[in-house]
Amino acid sequence: MKIQWLGHSSFKLTESTGVSVVTDPFDGSEVGIPFPDISADVVTISHGHFDHNKVENVKDHKLVLNSTGMHEVDGVDISGFLSYHDSQKGAVRGKNIVFRFRMDGVEVCHLGDIGEKLSPMLAELIGSINILLIPIGGRYTIDADMAKEYVDFLMPDVVIPMHYMQDGYNTELDDLEDFLRKFDRDSIECPDTDEVEFDRADFDGERTRVIVLRKID
């Protein structure tokens, strides 16, 4: 399966069968960076803010998922779990949906704009995962310290950070380096690409790799 970073918290996940999902498409004019010309079968929305819910930016989609529950789309399993956008059970910024995907036997978790500490209940729902797509920018989501706690508890094989400060942004977020400093440098990979491909055999369960994708205009 392939993972392409579209910017901010948006990714395109594609199974070998061709079935594709785009997570959290954003309004480029509001965010400050362009959203690419992209199509997908399914769009998932973690919450209703403009930088995560621009469904119309994804061409040819047949299904939009923006709530909790279990779904199966042409062999791809998608589960949504309730969480919160802040540390006060949604009183400040509302609810957030964490999505888990199973593609080609690879388990991927997209945390959306999660803003709370990892609870035992949410950790149990997420379960064992291979790839964790995690916000690290603080201010509106968890910050680097709390993101590291998620990584240490969930122990994914791969972590791909998202929702951090980028050139051109119309808002302020924490920097990527705040998160990377919490890992050994030999565990960090920075491929000069916005897309990576994984196979179930790629994961040995012995270490966590941090992969920083580069947004290509």
Task: Print the domain residue range for 145.
Answer: 2-211
Asked which of 13-22, 54-63, 151-160, 164-173 is least confident by mean pLDDT, the reply is 164-173
Residue 72 has pLDDT above 70, yes or no: yes
Is there a domain that residue 42 lies in? yes
Is there a domain that residue 217 lies in? no
Is there a domain that residue 182 lies in? yes
State the pLDDT at residue 90.
66
The pTM is what?
A: 0.95
State the pLDDT at residue 78.
98
Residue 91 has pLDDT above 80, yes or no: no
Mean pLDDT for all residues in the chain: 93
Q: Whole-angstrom Cα distance, residue 61 to residue 166? A: 28
Residue 155 has pLDDT above 90, yes or no: yes
State the pLDDT at residue 53.
85
Q: Whole-angstrom Cα distance, residue 159 to residue 141? A: 17
| 36 Cα distance to chain centroid | 17
Domain count, the chain: 1
Is there a domain that residue 108 lies in? yes
**Residue 163, domain CATH:** 3.60.15.10
Q: Tell me what percent of the residues of the chain surpass a pLDDT of 70.
A: 97
